[in-house]
Amino acid sequence: GQNIDQPTEMTATEGAIVQINCTYQTSGFNGLFWYQQHAGEAPTFLSYNVLDGLEEKGRFSSFLSRSKGYSYLLLKELQMKDSASYLCAVSRNTPLVFGKGTRLSVIA
């Protein structure tokens, strides 16, 4: 089976940096995805890591350590529109398995 853990809620200030952690346990690994989901909307793709290291895409970066079963999503220069749930998802040779998501609130 697979266990994916991420914090339930986080709050951060507009303009700041926030790091959302994700730990996972799986017997096989094909990659780790991060999705963003605004309330009442579909999840949208943010990033994909299959090798160790940092992937940077504008204000968003994602890091992976396969040996530690650990990933994080880093959001810089936070904006109010970044208030959403952030879903960590692990892939083996089966479809994506999602964590419960981290609800991020950005405050002024």
Partner 1 sequence: GAGVSQTPSNKVTEKGKYVELRCDPISGHTALYWYRQSLGQGPEFLIYFQGTGAADDSGLPNDRFFAVRPEGSVSTLKIQRTERGDSAVYLCASSLIRGDRGRNTEAFFGQGTRLTVV
Q: Which is nearer to partner 1, 18 or 22 (CB)?
A: 22
Q: Tokens 């529109």 identify what position?
A: 81
Q: Which is nearer to partner 1, 16 or 28 (CB)?
A: 28
Nearest-CA neighbor of 90 among 41, 23, 39? 23
Q: Cβ of residue 21: shortest distance to partner 1, in angstroms?
A: 15
85 and 101 in contact (C-beta within 8 Å)?
A: yes
Q: Which residues bind partner 1 (CB under 8 A)?
A: 4, 30-31, 33, 41-45, 48, 50, 87, 89, 91, 93-101, 103
Q: Cβ of residue 88: shortest distance to partner 1, in angstroms?
A: 8
Q: Cβ of residue 8: shortest distance to partner 1, in angstroms?
A: 8
Q: Which is nearer to partner 1, 19 or 44 (CB)?
A: 44
In the chain, where do the E strands start and end? Answer: 3-5, 9-13, 18-25, 31-37, 44-49, 53-57, 60-65, 70-75, 84-91, 97-98, 102-107
